[in-house]
Amino acid sequence: MTTPPTVDLAAALTPADLEAARDPVAVSADAAVRERVAASRTLLDGVLGGGQAVYGSTTGFGALVGYAGRADQRDQADNTLAHLGAGHGPDIDPHLARATMLVRTWSLAQGVSGVSAPVVDALVAMLGTSFAPAMPRLGSVGASGDLIPLGAAAQALRGRGHAYVDGVRMPAADALTKAGLDPLRLDGRDALALVNGTSLTTAALALAARRVRTAHRVVQLLTCLLADLLGCDPQFLDERLIARFRHDGAVHVAGVMRAALSGATPSGTRPLQEPYSIRCAPQLLGAAEDALRHVDGVVAADLGAVSDNPLFFPRADAGDVVHGGNFFGQPAAFAADVLTMVTAQVGNLAERQLDLLVDPARNGGLPPMLAAGPGQQHGLQGVQLAATALIADIRRDAMPASIQSLPTNLHNQDVVPFGTQAALRALDQAASLRLITGSLALGLRQAAHVGTRLPGAPGCARILDALAAAIEPIDPDRPLERDVRVAADTVENSLNFGF
């Protein structure tokens, strides 16, 4: 039996941890974690006992903060969650739901949210199973946290609504039983702490950034394989040339590409200057690298943040309850929109390279559409059509979400970041980008079958060998949807070759 990976709540949370949360994970909380959770809860109990107003514990929510909440704290949990049952659309992917709950667990374990220890324990137990709350995609504006999706998650943990176990959707009460979990008991503070943060936005952005970065690295290697198969002169990667460009990302990318192309020799039959989709690739992908570094920084900050309200800061003598707006996900909104721009341009580059590869006027005389028998066969024709449709879809949906602020909640939320929409879209587009890179990889494998020279660079040869071992030539025509995905998997695995 495979031992599940471990996530330590006392250590920094990483995008790799969120990827691992697709399956059961062992989440550990040491004594220091438990002590700080208990300390913030003791502070909450003390201020409530002293009659101090605490948002969500003694008050209504949002624009109704000026009204008293329910006197019984168990009833206050219902008061918090019932009105948030207004989400729409399809469920988010169960993997993303689990990643979201891991982010929320880590945040609550920092000991400034005032939650009761059983809440953290219940989340840890849930993550050790295949349970995933059913969370609606539509309903959050990314301000005051991801209220409606997280509200559905909290209800599922109570046995209300729906959830998934082993990927199967069912009533949440049945899912808890099947997973061996007890329904979670909440008071008002527990309920608000579960929903009043940007954990869905953060999880979606982190997963999207990780996947776009993988595709970005893949396109670097596929560009090198394309240049090698066609016999392009690699001078467009000259170290002196790139150094004069003065952008760190381009310097880094060109270095990676020079290593991958090491050993390649020009054919002498190509034009003096290649089309921009080859010649300007290090500049384009370098700019993407610079942008991705910014996104990586936002992801790291958000994974280490507590996006809750209010926060509790215990002291030896008492402590402070501080109300504010850490749930306002503007950094993630901006970063997700930047990620969308990167996805669109990297995808556009890969699609244009595929277009060059199937065109006999530019591919060195290879058959049109790389068909083994043009007319009788059609090679990459269907794959190129799909790749063009994919990049058109990405580009059509690239309008920034972070500038679409609309007031809501009686103008309590009079500006909103729409980070949730931006991050979910970026995650969707990362999946489309992967299909485009898989399409290009499949084209390169077919190009070798219909007449390109063999790669001169050992690194490029290893990539082509891996593709040839995984995918049969397109000869004769066949449905290629699966081959595109296999090609994407294969080249991603090639990233381990050490470029």
- Does residue 351 carry a pLDDT above 80? yes
- Of 62 and 445, the one with more pLDDT: 445
Backbone dihedral angles phi then psi of residue 161, each to the nearest 5 degrees: 80, -140
Instruction: Determine the average pLDDT of the residues in 407-424.
Output: 86
Burial 18-32 (b: 16+ CB within 10 A, else e): bbbbbebbebebeee
> How far is residue 273 from each of residues 161, 264, 270, 283, 306, measured CA to CA in Å?
61, 17, 8, 15, 51
Please tell me the least confidently modeled range out of 69-73, 348-352, 379-383, 476-480.
69-73
- Does residue 498 carry a pLDDT above 90? no
Backbone dihedral angles phi then psi of residue 134, each to the nearest 5 degrees: -80, 120
- Joined tokens for residue 470: 């995984």
Instruction: Determine the average pLDDT of the residues in 364-376.
Output: 95
CA distance 41 to 39: 5
Please tell me the least confidently modeled range out of 67-71, 301-305, 343-347, 419-423.
67-71
Q: Residue 215: what pLDDT?
A: 98
Instruction: Determine the average pLDDT of the residues in 172-197.
Output: 95
- Joined tokens for residue 258: 């020079």
Instruction: Determine the average pLDDT of the residues in 182-195.
Output: 94
Please tell me the least confidently modeled range out of 50-64, 158-172, 180-194, 451-465.
50-64
**Across the chain, how many H-helices and E-strands are there?**
18, 9
Confidence of residue 55 (pLDDT cuts 50, 70, 90): confident
Cβ atoms of 448 and 358 within 8 Å: the answer is: no
Confidence of residue 58 (pLDDT cuts 50, 70, 90): confident
CA distance 34 to 95: 27
CA distance 277 to 369: 18
- Of 272 and 63, the one with more pLDDT: 272
Tell me which DSSP letter residue 67 carries: S
Cβ atoms of 237 and 264 within 8 Å: the answer is: no
Pairing state of beta strands 162-165 and 136-138?
Answer: unpaired
Q: Is 164 tagged catalytic? A: no
The candidate with the shortest Cα–Cα distance to 126, out of 195, 178, 59, 190, is: 178
Instruction: Determine the average pLDDT of the residues in 444-455.
Output: 96
What is the per-residue pLDDT across 298-343, written as a single tens digit (0 to 9) for each?
999 999 999 999 999 998 778 899 999 999 999 999 999 999 999 9
The DSSP bridge partners found for residue 133 are 163
Q: Residue 1: what pLDDT?
A: 59
Q: Residue 149: what pLDDT?
A: 96
- Joined tokens for residue 214: 């993988």
Q: Write down the mean pLDDT value for the chain.
A: 94
Cβ atoms of 401 and 333 within 8 Å: the answer is: yes
From the candidates 55, 67, 164, 276, give the one annotated as an active-site residue. 55
Q: Residue 150: what pLDDT?
A: 96
Q: Residue 60: what pLDDT?
A: 81
Q: List, in order, residues 6 or more apart from 240 with CB less than 8 Å away.
A: none
- Does residue 195 carry a pLDDT above 80? yes
Q: Residue 143: what pLDDT?
A: 82
Percentage above 70 pLDDT, the chain = 99
What is the per-residue pLDDT across 275-294, written as a single tens digit (0 to 9) for each?
999 999 999 999 999 999 99
Amino acid sitting at position 158: R
| CATH numbers and ranges of domains, the chain | 6-197 (1.10.275.10), 205-497 (1.20.200.10)
Give the length of the chain: 499
CA distance 225 to 291: 24
Q: Residue 406: what pLDDT?
A: 82
Q: Residue 197: what pLDDT?
A: 92
What is the per-residue pLDDT across 121-169, written as a single tens digit (0 to 9) for each?
999 999 999 999 999 999 888 888 899 999 999 999 999 999 999 999 9
Alpha helices in 450-480 (DSSP H): 458-470
Alpha helices in 304-418 (DSSP H): 330-358, 381-396
Pairing state of beta strands 88-91 and 26-28?
Answer: unpaired
Q: Residue 410: what pLDDT?
A: 75
Q: Is the peptide bond before 479 cis (omega within 30 degrees of 0)?
A: no
Element at 302 (helix H, strand E): helix 281-303
Q: Residue 186: what pLDDT?
A: 94
